Structure formats: structure tokens, C-alpha cells
Structure 1
Amino acid sequence: MHLADLGVAAWLLLVVGAIAVGFAKTAVGGVGALAVVAFAAAVPARNSTGALLPLLLVGDIVAVTVYHRHADRAVLMRLLPGVLPGLLLGVWFLAIADDTVMRRTIGAILLAMTALQLWTRRSAGAQSGPRKSSPAITLAAGGAAGFATMTANAAGPVTTLYLLAAGLPMLEFLGTSAWFYLLVNAAKLPFSASLDLVSGDSLIVDALLVPALGLGVLIGLATVRRIDQAQFERAALVLSGLGAAALLL
């Protein structure tokens, strides 16, 4: 990605993507998939993954600063072990798949997971409160998150579905996901650098987009103060599904 190649339309998409990152990190994580789509539309899809990663890390640091006290460490520690195999599988997939196959495969998987979660929640009826998933489901969720985030920065729908299934209240959801994304995105950075997906030009673009991310953070914080748990869960599921569907286009 070269700065000189970015036109006005590309910059507008990148700004929208940066605002979406800030909002997703502090409010409804499903919006993060819209940032993935915006960056992939502004620059080549393969390069967009590396261009977006440093900006995500900035958002992660902000989110951890705001919500770190609310993290459910038990849920976090159960989810993390499956991530590394997923990251390694994602590195291999990046090496063999073209951009179209990569986006559509991930989108199809995440859309199916969203539909499954909606069905599960409907079947559960009035059941509420903390729910512990089986080790197999937890391992699969961690692996899927690692794979999706390595290939397309698209772990949001996977972790959203898992954390909602765990029955976490809104603030615990935000705190747990903040730590999860910070650790996972930091782990991704060496892999992305080794694949030449992070460049000097992309880092300059990210630095220029930090104010837009800050605007998204402010909007997100204002939103969290105005919505309740039920609204939060509905928004998270709907936006996760829309983001997954967008990856199919």
C-alpha cells in the first residue's frame, strides 16, 4: 500500500473504518466487521489486514484502559488456548488462498455461527445468567477466532457469539473482549510482519487515522451509557451477522 495511491474515496473509507474500530472497541464489537469491509474496499484486501492491525491495537489499548476492571478472567483463560493453532492455520491459509476465497470462506462460517447462536438463544427461552461451554466448544471458538482474526481481522463475530453464550453482563463482556483482542492482536503482529502485511506507509496511514478512531471511542462510550443489556445483546448479534454477510460480497 502506497500513500500516493490513496484517493479521496479511499481516505473516506479508511476514516469510516477507523471510526468503526473506535466504536467497536468501546461499545458493540460487531461494528468491527464493518471496519474490515471498509479497509478491504479502500486498499487491496490482502494488504488491508496488515494496514488495519496497528489501528486495532490502539483501540485495544483504549478499551483495556476503560474496561480492564470488568474482565472475567476465567472466561478469558478458557478461550485463549485455542487461539494459537487458529493463528497458525490462518498464516497457512493466507499463503495459499486468494482474497476472494479468503473473505467468502470466513463470511460463510461466521454467518452460519450467527444463525446457530440465534437458534440456540431462542431454544434456551428464558434461561439467563452465566453458562459454561464445553471444553470442545471453547477450543473450537478459540481456534475459529484465531483463524478469522489472522486472515481477515474478523474475530469479532466469533468472540461475540461465545461471550454472549457465556451469559456475561455488558460491562464484563466489554472487559473480557478488550483483554482478549489486545492479547490476540499483539500475538498476530509478528506473523503479519513476516508476511510483509505491515509497512511504513501503512503505519503512517494508521497514525493519521487515530483522531477518527478517537471519535469512534467517544461515540461508543456515549452509546454504552444509554443502552441496557437486552439492547446490547441484540445489537451485538445483528451487527455480527451483518458484518459476516458483508464479507461474502
Structure 2
Amino acid sequence: MPELGVADWVALATAAAMVGFAKTAVGGLGAVSVALFALVLPARESTGAVLALLLVGDVIAVGLYRRHVEWAHLLRLLPAVVPGLCLGAWFVARADEALMQRAIGLVLLAMVVVQVSVRTRGAGMASIPVRWRGVVRTSAPLAVGVVAGFATMTANAAGPVMMLYLLMAGLPVLALLGTGAWFFFIVNLAKLPFSAGLDLLDRSMLLMDLALVPALVVGAALGALVAHRIPRRRFEELTVGLTVVAAGALLI
């Protein structure tokens, strides 16, 4: 891990707070935190650092929404995540620093496109032509699982595509939050052996994450307090803009 200055620690603490806020309020903010970590730390190792913090956030989210999970959707999705994780781990193992940085930027931009599509076109089954709904129900879990597995392994950025699937499934808000919380907790746990095998996590990274946990907890608490009070649409628009800027910086 490189030596970090005061500005670096401020950026990482801000990113950690965003991770916590994303887990309890506006999920799209997590993409900004991923980009900040990749800008401050080496791109490959940043994915491991973010993963450890995500797991802390997942525990908080599961604690809040554990009773609102739809296990049927999880059981359809989780098997398809495995090939996506394997493909992502293969890519990370072969990518150099420059390619990894650009890959994270591209994945983040792709997830922004998904997020904007959800906002502008609607994602419920009612928005899909009747003749295609059966195909969507049968093929969507496989496609979403593979894409989510690859996106989360390479850039910890599967949130938008997962949200798109759960919205298409017609889940109410609490079920969406609970199912998403359990999904990412299970998937992030499954990523640990891959990340350890790729040397993305070491003692120095874990100590750094430990120092950032208080910022994450503050972000999570703030998210839980304001989740129902903030103008959600405006906040998501700001999040999209910040993600595009941060992803663009990774691609330059």
C-alpha cells in the first residue's frame, strides 16, 4: 500500500462514509466511493480494500432489513453469479494497473447507463411488452447473475443491475432493500477467497479499512436518518453526475 497523505485519508474517509450511506439510503453513491478508492490507491488493490468495507456495510444493511428478504429471487440469482465471479477473477488476474483502472471506469459508466435507464424508462414488468415477459422471467436471473458477478468482482459495482432486476420483479421497497442486502452480503462473502487468492487483501489494507470503519458507520447512520427525508430524485441525479466525473478520471 502506498504512503497516504492527509488529502488521501480525507478522500478515503469520505468514500467509506459513502459506502455506509449507500447501504442504508441511496445505493448509487457506492459507485462514487469505488471510483475514489481507485483514484487514491492502486486500482487492483482498491477493489480488495472496498470489499472489506462493503462487508461491514452489508452486516449493517442485513441487520436493518433482514426480515424483508424474498429468498425465491435470491435462489434464482445466486447460482448464476458464480460464473460471473470466475470470469471477473480471471480478468483481474491478467489485467495490469492501467487496464484495471480503465476497466473499473468502464464498468462504472456501464452501471450509470443502467441506473439512468431505470429512472427514465421504468423497470417494472408492466413496462415490458406482454409477449416478452415470459422470456424476461426465465432468462433475466441468468443474465443478471453473470453480469452482477463480473461487475462486482472487477469493480464492486453490481448495484444498478441488481436494482434493475429487483424492480422488474415488482418487489416493494422493503423487500427490495432486504433482498438486495442479503444478495450483496452473500456475494461479497463469496468474493473473499477470490480476492485473497489474487493478493488484493493484506494486513496493511485491512488495518487501513479498520481505521475507516468509524466513517462508514457515521455514513450508515446518516443514511438511515435521512433516507425518507431527502429529495431522492435530485440526490440520484447528483450521484450519477459524480460517478460519471469519477469514472472519467479513471479513463483519462
Normalised-by-shorter TM-score class:
0.7 to 0.9
Is 1:158 the counterpart of 2:167? The answer is: no
Retained in 2: the 8 A contact 1:84–1:146? Answer: yes
TM-score, normalising length: structure 2: 0.85
Paired position in structure 1 for 2:227: 224
Separation in 1, partners of 2:56, 2:193: 16
Return the offset for 1:102. Answer: 1.2
Deviates more, 1:133-142 or 1:204-213: 133-142
Q: Which structure 2 residues correspond to residues 1-249 of structure 1 after superposition, within 5 A?
A: 1-2=1-2, 5-97=3-95, 98-118=99-119, 120-121=121-122, 133-226=136-229, 234=233, 238=237, 241-242=240-241, 245=244, 246-249=246-249
Separation in 2, partners of 1:199, 1:149: 19
Structural RMSD (CA):
2.6
Return the offset for 1:242. Answer: 4.2
Separation in 2, partners of 1:200, 1:139: 36
Return the offset for 1:225. Answer: 3.8
Deviates more, 1:237-246 or 1:148-157: 237-246
TM-score, normalising length: structure 1: 0.86
Separation in 1, partners of 2:20, 2:52: 13
Residues 157-187 of structure 1 deviation map (CA, whole Å, 9 limit, x = unaligned): 2112222222222221111111001000000
Retained in 2: the 8 A contact 1:114–1:237? Answer: no
Return the offset for 1:124. Answer: 7.6
Separation in 2, partners of 1:238, 1:167: 23
Deviates more, 1:104-113 or 1:149-158: 104-113
Residues 196-233 of structure 1 deviation map (CA, whole Å, 9 limit, x = unaligned): 00010010011111110110111111122436xxx65x
Separation in 1, partners of 2:192, 2:204: 16
Separation in 1, partners of 2:74, 2:214: 30
Return the offset for 1:99. Answer: 2.0
Gaps of 5+ in 1: none
Retained in 1: the 8 A contact 2:35–2:105? Answer: no
Return the offset for 1:115. Answer: 4.4
Separation in 1, partners of 2:123, 2:148: 24
Separation in 2, partners of 1:239, 1:26: 17
Gaps of 5+ in 2: none
Retained in 1: the 8 A contact 2:124–2:168? Answer: no
